[in-house]
Amino acid sequence: MAAKSQICSVWLGSETGILKGVSLTKKQAFNFCEMSCMSRDQEVCVMAWGDPHESEVLVGSVNGTVKTFSTDKGIFTATRECGDPSQGRFTGLAVTDSSMITCVESGLLKVWKEGSTETAEVNVGNGVCRMQQNQSQRHRVATGGKENPLKVWDLERPDKPIFTAKNVAHDWLDMRVPVWVRDIGFIPDSDKIVTCTGHHQVCVYDPSTPQRRPVLEAQFGEYPLTALSLPASQGTVVVGNSHGELAILDLRKGLVCGCLKGLAGAVRGLQCHPSLPLVASCGLDRFLRVHSLEDRSLQHKVYLKSRLNCVLLSSRELEVSSEVAFSLNGDVEEVKAEEEEDEVWDTMETVTEKSKKRAAQKDKATATGVDGEKKRKLIKKKVM
């Protein structure tokens, strides 16, 4: 079990309550679930890394429990009751230095301190769809939901939000544009926040400016955008909608750079790799897909038998693949690779020669054709 969990680089939570680990280099998927479990109320809603070293995964379920899974040991180490199902599902899970932050659909944001049962509570409004933590300033969280505009909270002063977004101006019919924040992302190295809405809009907010309305608003598709992720390279964002369309949007102009193809079902979880240009997507079609952001091609596709809710990418992937390359006799492999390449080039040359020969043959054929015609003309003349 421990060996299996140590090689996994992608972690997924499914609707059946099973935590799945996938190793892309070895092309294997493993199920990690507690023996007694397997019931629908164990359905995984949110997942987060338990610590910066990515050795623990926190899994939040529908029945209000948050389980800690250790990737080194390969077992669930702790379970914690963090609310009850009447409050709604978990919409966000985050970890600060010594405490855990959970948010549920009814708007109750709780900070659970380690060791003590005290919780600091904040009410962020009803109908919350997402709560996300700022990775650079860990005490700041943003929440948003259906008819619940984006609010950024500082947990050290939890009375009032630091920033509340204002709705966009009335549309061309002078009607109020409905608000439905589905997913939130903090842009690194700046104060800006990107959100994607259920009304197929992507909005960028800048709390450092006095403007509370979105700085940029872009539209994509006709279906609700369900997931969002920011890649390592700045200036772009990847969004997915309920029809299985994944798109890369440019945040400077608000235009679509390109679409990632392959998904057949709604995108439930999307995550970009912290350093590599890769994005992992999972959804209702029961597949995990990893696309490359540079050429928008599908790198990996794994069938995992249940509908998937969330995905977590570990930054170890690069290290693992490089380790695999160097652990074997690196030099010998490289030399062999070169030889193979030379062989490939040799074979390539012979192919081109043959094609030239074929072209030459064709020329000859046409020449004979011409001759044939000449022969016919000669025959004619003879008859004449």
Partner 1 sequence: VKLVKSDEAPVQEMEQAEGEETEKKSESGPCFPPTFSVSEIKNKQRRHSMFLKLKEEKRKQKLELKKKKKKERKALGDKAPPKEVPKTIENQRIYDETTVNPEDEEVAFDEGTDEFSAYFNRLTNPKVLITTSDRPRGRTVRFCEQLATVIPHAHVYYRRGLALKRVIPQCVSRGFTYLMVINEDRKVPNGLVLCHLPDGPTAHFKVSNVRLRKEMKRRGKDPTEHVPEVILNNFTTRLGHSIGRMFAALFPHDPQFVGRQVATFHNQRDFIFFRFHRYIFKNEKKVGIQELGPRFTLKLRSLQKGTFDSKFGEYEWVHKRHEMDSSRRKFHL
For partner 1, the binding residues (CB under 8 A) are: 15-16, 18, 31, 38-40, 198, 223-224, 226, 242-244, 261-262, 264-266, 268, 284-286, 303, 305-307, 365, 368-369, 372, 376, 379-380, 383-384
Q: Could you tell me which residues come within 8 angstroms of residue 87 by beta carbon, excluding any fewer than 6 positions away?
A: 64, 104, 105, 106, 108
Q: How far is the CB of 204 from partner 1 (least distance, A)?
A: 23
> How far is residue 110's CA from residue 330's CA, in Å, rounded to a whole number?
51
Residue 258 CB, shortest distance to partner 1, in Å, is 15
Task: Indicate the residue among 348 and 384 with the shorter CB distance to partner 1.
Answer: 384
CB of 184 to partner 1, least distance (A): 19
Rounded distance, CA 274 to CA 315, Å?
Answer: 6
Q: Which is nearer to partner 1, 27 or 52 (CB)?
A: 27
Contact 226, 266 (CB under 8 A): yes
CB atoms within 10 A of CB 83: 23
Pick the closer one to partner 1 by CB: 140 or 182: 182
Nearer to partner 1, 266 or 280 (CB): 266
Q: How far is the CB of 62 from partner 1 (least distance, A)?
A: 12
CB of residue 381 vs partner 1: minimum separation in angstroms?
A: 9
Q: Which is nearer to partner 1, 38 or 255 (CB)?
A: 38
The rounded distance, in Å, linking the Cα atoms of 274 and 46 is 19
CA dist 241 and 248 (Å) reads 12
Cα–Cα separations (whole angstroms), residue 201 to 177, 236, 256, 321: 11, 15, 12, 37
- DSSP string covering 163-223: EEPPPPPP-TTS-PPP-BEEEEEEPTTSS-EEEEETTSEEEEE-TTSS--S-SEEEE-SSS
Nearer to partner 1, 319 or 371 (CB): 371
In angstroms, give the least distance from the CB of 243 to partner 1.
Answer: 5
Dist. CA 315–CA 54, nearest whole Å: 8
User: Residue 225's beta-bridge partner residues?
Assistant: 241
Helix residue ranges, H only, 187-316: none
CA–CA gap between residue 77 and residue 354 (Å, rounded): 65
Q: For partner 1, which is the closer residue by CB, 166 or 362?
A: 362
Output 15 or 56, the one with its CB closest to partner 1: 15
Q: How far is the CB of 379 from partner 1 (least distance, A)?
A: 6
Task: Give least dist CB 376 to partner 1, A.
Answer: 6
Q: Residue 340: left if φ>0, alpha if ψ -120 to 50, beta else—which one?
A: alpha
